[in-house]
Structure 1
Amino acid sequence: MTPPPTSSASSASSDVGRASDGPDPVVPVPVVPDVWQLPFPVGHVYLVRLSDGGFAAVDTGVPGSAPAILEAVTRLAGKPDALRQIVLTHSHVDHMGSAADLVAATGARVLAGAADAPAVSGAAPEPPPALTAAEAPLLEQVQSGMAEAGTPPLKHVRVDDELHDGDVLDDWPEPAHVLHVPGHTPGSTALHLPAAGVLFTGDLMATGPDGRVILGPFNVDREVAIASFRRLAALPGVDTLCVPHGIPVRTGAARALAAATPETDWL
């Protein structure tokens, strides 16, 4: 089943088919120094402490997640408007879903891959995924779960800064290297902190119930996504994977990536 325009969802492992609990508190979980996970039922959010003491959010969860994110920022910084930056790994509803509300509340700047910026802003429709036989019922389950949970409609948001491969975010705890990794969406973006060994993967990667690193489902071009997965897997010194779906890999990511078989996932 093809997702409706601007409403495609991406999920893997135990969070499939459930939607965010909205304003209920989500306690920040430390991952590495200066990085916290907000474990939402669909589409985890990561908070990163910036060099000026403010915070960046990597993705924003489904629509309705903004109150929980702002509460988490307040827990860490003492005030919600410490959220200064929103980095969207891609344009799907479980990643950009609360960006507009967060911008309205805090004035944070939105950064997204250049090729996904039109879908984020609403200037172009969301390209549909090319589903495998295994992915089609999974996507229907995800969409049904979000509808049953009463997920609010998606609001589009302006992209303040379009990201390109090789860009560097200098205001992070260490320079964050931007990687254009298409395949899941045309503008999918990963962020690499080489000194810390941390990789924010976007939906190119997820973890399954057994902890194995897998290819994320619902890709617009499966072969391109696999090539992007292999590019990320070849990065040197990666020890921590901040995945949006499943459990983050806090240590030993290089071994997990070496054992991954994205070519055979979701077939």
Structure 2
Amino acid sequence: METSRVSDTIWMLRFPVGQAYAIRGSAGWALVDTGSAGFAADILEGLRTLGAHPGDLREIVLTHSHNDHTGSAAALAAATGARVLAGAADAPVIRGGIPETPPVLEDWERPLYDFVACSPALPLAPPCPVDRELSDGDTLDWGEEVRIIHVPGHTAGSIACHLPDSGVLFTGDTVANVGQLMLGVFNVDRKQAEASFRKQAALDVETACFGHGDPLIGGAGQALRKVAFSAPA
């Protein structure tokens, strides 16, 4: 796992597939996503290097139910006592109560999906309790207000986290920045996903943090709007 600084209070934790983000707030730490299964110890060690003890982790927010984002959540919650929060429609999948809805693939996505689905770097995620189900308009407190945005399409319950005071947006996999800024791949409903991209692009943000690809630091909202509104996402 590689750790890199995004801002004075945000660090990216990069895994072989995807990434998570650690956020330092006035009352403790939060995580956005957890990587795939098996990375809990690495994440805890990464937090220690940033000066955080396990008990300092207060909240784990899961942007959606895919195993490269939820895989280490159960182990981290057990080790730290942190609450796990997720979108209401994805919570039953994260808890292990219902299966993941498969994506509706574009022809060009199918070879990539087949490769990723067979990757040993993406083991199945253990079931994880969800302490709070999040809906559009809910707020959290990380030392500044965090607004939850329901952004369905990648999964039914995908959420984004918007910090309006600092102009930061965590998009999960609804947007990606791998080679180019683009709509995320492997969506259950592409039209919904495109609308969710536009919903986020309309926000006033300076920094965008994605589930895959480097964050955009400075001018992120303008870059999102250029993609979302000037051409198909």
What residue is the counterpart of 1:244 in the other structure? 211
- Write out aligned runs for 1:173-192 (5 A): 173-192=143-162
The SS at the match of 2:84 is: strand
Higher RCO structure (Cα 8 Å, ≥6 apart): 1
Deviation at 1:85, TM superposition (A): 1.0
Give the RMSD, CA atoms, in angstroms.
1.5
Normalised TM-score (structure 1): 0.83
DSSP-derived class of the 1:135 partner: helix
- Structure 1: distance between partners of 2:88 and 2:52: 33
CA distance in 2, matches of 1:106, 1:84: 8
Runs of 4+ in 1 over 6 A off after TM superposition: none
Q: Give 1:160's match in structure 2, choosing from 107, 131, 135.
A: 131
- Aligned partners of 1:91 and 1:120 also within 8 Å: yes
1:117-156 to 2 correspondences below 5 Å: 117-144=91-118, 146-147=119-120, 149=121, 151-156=122-127
Residue type at the aligned position of 2:194: I
CA contact (8 A) 2:198 2:225 kept: no
Is the contact made by 1:90 and 1:112 (CA closer than 8 Å) also made in structure 2? yes
Distance in 1 of aligned mates of 2:173 and 2:52? 31
The reply on whether 1:233 has 2:204 as its aligned counterpart is no
TM, length-normalised to structure 2: 0.94
For residues 25-46 of structure 1, the C-alpha deviation after alignment (integer angstroms, 9 at most, x for no partner) is x343111221111122212010
Cα 1:133–1:167 shift into 2, 3 Å: same
Say which SS state the counterpart of residue 50 (structure 2) adopts.
Answer: helix
Q: What is the rounded CA distance, in whole Å, between the counterparts of 1:77 and 1:226 in structure 2? A: 39
CA contact (8 A) 2:2 2:15 kept: no
Say yes or no: does 1:224 pair with 2:224.
no
Q: 1:44 to 1:142 in 2, by over 3 A?
A: same
Deviation (angstroms), 1:118: 0.4
Partner amino acid, structure 2, of 1:177: R
Aligned-residue offset at 1:192 = 0.4
Distance 1:130 1:78 in 2: 40
| 2:14 corresponds to 1:72 | no
Partner residue of 2:17?
42
Deviation at 1:105, TM superposition (A): 1.1
> What amino acid sits opposite 1:83 in the alignment?
L
Residue identity matched to 2:197: F
Which runs of no fewer than 5 residues in structure 2 stay unpaired? none
Partner of 1:38: helix, strand, or coil?
Answer: strand
> Does the 8 A contact of 1:73 with 1:82 survive in 2?
no
Alignment of 1:56-95 (within 5 A): 56-95=30-69
Segment of structure 1 superposing worse, 214-223 or 151-160: 151-160
Map of 1:204 onto structure 2 = 174
Query: How many residue pairs are counted as aligned between the two chains?
Result: 232
Show the counterpart of 2:226: 259
Label 1:116 to 1:62 Cα distance change in 2 as closer, same or farther (>3 A). same
Higher strand share: 2
The 1:78/1:223 distance shift into structure 2, 3 A limit, reads closer
